[in-house]
Amino acid sequence: MTIEATVEDVRALLELAKADRVADQGASETRPASRGATARRVPTALLDRYQLLLHGGRTPVIVAIERGACSGCHVRLPVMLEQKASRSTAIHTCPHCRRMLYAPQLVRPASDADVEEPARPASPKSAGKRSR
């Protein structure tokens, strides 16, 4: 199963999962406000799927694809699914555990997206060579 999503949708799902994880660890007084605000940013189809998995006990609900495997159940994914996931920001489903999967290389954290790469200094080898 694949649900179309944007990078912002995936980020919102990850924030929602983080809010639920924090609430499970005991900080439930901040959960309703932050969770509600984050949940409103998630499209209905994704939120419905997320809630279904959460209530079914699949935690974490959304996991990254790491080295060709689901990082939730650690089972190797079919090559075709891995290739599809690496080309689109859609949310895919693990065929084994049914968790929501995303390709982390396509979804950089918001703080990384705004920061430019610093210019690399010239290597010492090239700096010492002179043109003749």
Instruction: Give this prediction's pTM.
Output: 0.73
- Kind plus residue range of the DSSP H or E element containing 54: helix 44-55
Q: CA distances (Å), 130 to each of 60, 125, 126, 127, in order?
A: 56, 10, 8, 8
Domain 2-111 CATH assignment equals 1.10.287.1490: yes
Residues 13-55: tens digit of each pLDDT: 999 988 888 776 665 555 556 678 888 888 999 999 999 999 9
Q: What is the pLDDT of residues 48-79, one digit of tens each?
A: 999 999 999 888 999 999 999 999 999 999 99
What confidence category does residue 115 fall into, taking pLDDT thresholds of 50, 70 and 90?
Answer: very low
Q: How far apart are CA 77 and CA 66, in angstroms?
A: 10
Locate the domains of the chain by residue range: 2-111
Which pLDDT belongs to residue 107?
Answer: 84
Q: What is the model's pLDDT at position 65?
A: 95
